[in-house]
Amino acid sequence: MGEAVTKALSDLGLTARHGEDVAVTGLSVDSRQVRPGHLFAALPGVKAHGATFLPAALERGAVAVLTDRAGEEIARPLLVGSSVALVVVEDPRQSLAYAAALWFGAQPATVVAVTGTNGKTSVATFTRQIWQALGFEAANIGTTGVEGSFTAPSAHTTPEPITLHRLLAEMAAAGVDYAAMEASSHGLAQRRLDGVQLSAAAFTNFTQDHLDYHATFEEYFAAKAGLFTRVLPEDGVAVLNTDDPKGLELFDYAVARGQQVIRVGRDASCEMRLGGQRFDAAGQDVRFIWEDAPQLVRLPLIGGFQAMNALTAAALVIACGAEPAEVFAALPKLTTVRGRMQLAATRANGATVFVDYAHTPDAVETALKALRPHVLGRLVAIVGAGGDRDRTKRPLMGRAATAFADHVIVTDDNPRTEDPATIRAAVMEGAGPEAQEVGDRAEAILRGVDALGPGDALLIMGKGHERGQVIGTDIFPFDDAEQASIAVAALDGKI
């Protein structure tokens, strides 16, 4: 057994207000995870103040507490006569983020972060894919976990600082030199990224979302802006979609801080400018202009917005020092995030089948609208809604499908403990009398594929990357992309 690592509070940038500069054996934000010798970060929470769990943390052997003034009030009486060190700071989440960085002490040499309402996963994934295509060891961290040269599951889009820095240190130890991470607005508001050394950061766009957590639109934007005004250092590069008015606002902040900026968008002022797009069944040809030189690339990606995501990723990689010509040569190799507008199968007659995670009325509309320019013939949609979740969205999802597709098949999603027929009836109510109802999802996919003539496309929505269907309380193996391949093989005589 190796000797346990310990670090003094002062080595973690912390000063005790009460007690000594003790050595700690680890960090925890949750009393239930405290081990003997740990520093317990008692954070102000939505439901409770972490300091209320101090007795449990002390019982488990915490030797130091990091908290704010409100936490100090709760902690002081509990610490009378004890040698436990009490560290009181203005913003304990930020101090914890710095302490976690110092505790783990290593990260990949180049780390970039992406924020925005939509496109974070796509941009972080594309950035990693470009680096890998250039021959570098690279990984991305986000909603889909950690992927690339290093893989790990992740519960959060932006992991908590302790998890995040453990991951970054493990990546560095495994030889990963490049990492692209998603910066969620929750993660930014909770200072999860504050201890990360960023080389560049990108902003994709800003629309209404997450107003359940952020009190106002302004607060939500302020959280995202923090990536550029606080986390990204002055010598970092800001990659900004300045077609979005909020991107223009960030441009002003970045310039005021002396950061170098790469603007991405359609406007003539952009260093990375999107010119034209021509769509076909399997992707798009994109014309763009980099520093006044026109370029043409093939993107095997569905959806007009993916060109902006790919260019944003290209700009990030260039910002970190790569040769632009090599970066542009890598773009035709990009592949979509699994289950997001994923080309799952192609019929012998050329008709295509796509799988997408869209499971809200808005997402159904966006997905169908994105696919439409790629389809010469008819667009067929398969839609369903999950059980034990929001009921009001069911007819709205059916309505959106009928409004933006030429033919709609309503099927089961994850019925969970509800009666599947009742859920389908609600979706059918919005989808209208022309829609076809096929409860069994595999049969619905078979019928959808069978309906495709040359030039047609089928979009199977709702489950995306999932590999199981939840019926009752059991999960049965089910993969939309695999079912699409099976249906195509069966109908085109390959099995």
Burial annotation 138-154 (CB, 10 A radius, 16+ → b, else e)? bbbbbebebbbbbeeeb
Residue 160 is a binding residue for ligand UAG (CB under 6 A): yes
Residue 195 is a binding residue for ligand UAG (CB under 6 A): no
Q: Which does 462 bind (CB under 5 to 8 A by kind): ligand UAG, ligand ATP, none?
A: none
Residue position matching structure tokens 């570098």: 136
Residue 194 is a binding residue for ligand UAG (CB under 6 A): no
Residue 70 is a binding residue for ligand UAG (CB under 6 A): no
Q: Which is nearer to ligand ATP, 41 or 313 (CB)?
A: 313
Burial annotation 377-414 (CB, 10 A radius, 16+ → b, else e)? ebbbbbbbbbbeeeeebbbbbbbbbbbbbbbbbbbbbb
CB of 125 to ligand ATP, least distance (A): 8
Residue 215 is a binding residue for ligand UAG (CB under 6 A): no
Q: Which of 110, 115, 125, 184 binds ligand UAG (CB under 6 A)?
A: 184
At 315, list the tokens: 């700009």
> Pairing relation of β-strands 379-383 and 352-356?
unpaired
Within 40-59, the residues that bind ligand UAG by CB under 6 A are 43, 45-48, 50, 53
Q: Which of 76, 186, 287, 465 binds ligand UAG (CB under 6 A)?
A: 186
Which residues make Cβ contacts (< 8 Å) with residue 402, sequence separation at least 6?
Answer: 408, 430, 431, 432, 434, 435
Residue 166 is a binding residue for ligand UAG (CB under 6 A): no
Within 313-372, the residues that bind ligand UAG by CB under 6 A are none
* Residue 225: HSE in the Cβ half-sphere, 13 Å Cα cutoff: 18
Q: Is 241 annotated as a binding residue?
A: no
Residue 156 is a binding residue for ligand UAG (CB under 6 A): yes
CB of 313 to ligand ATP, least distance (A): 11
Name the residue number minimizing CB distance to ligand UAG.
Answer: 45
Q: Which does 50 bind (CB under 5 to 8 A by kind): ligand UAG, ligand ATP, none?
A: ligand UAG
Q: Which does 46 bind (CB under 5 to 8 A by kind): ligand ATP, ligand UAG, none?
A: ligand UAG
d(CA 160, CA 193): 8
Q: Is 413 annotated as a binding residue?
A: yes
Q: Which is nearer to ligand UAG, 60 or 257 (CB)?
A: 60
Q: Is 414 annotated as a binding residue?
A: yes
At 172, list the tokens: 């560095």
Ramachandran sector of residue 23 (left: φ over 0; alpha: ψ -120 to 50; beta: rest) = beta
Binding site for ligand ATP (CB under 6 A): 118-122, 143, 157, 182, 204-205, 305, 308-309, 340, 366-367
Residue 199 is a binding residue for ligand UAG (CB under 6 A): no
Q: Is 415 annotated as a binding residue?
A: yes
Q: Is 447 annotated as a binding residue?
A: no
Q: Is 298 annotated as a binding residue?
A: no
Q: Which is nearer to ligand ATP, 53 or 354 (CB)?
A: 354
Q: Which residues belong to the annotated binding site?
A: 31, 116-122, 157-158, 184, 190, 192, 389, 413-416, 462, 466
Residues found near ligand UAG in the complex (CB under 6 A): 29-32, 43, 45-48, 50, 53, 156-158, 160, 184, 186-187, 190, 213
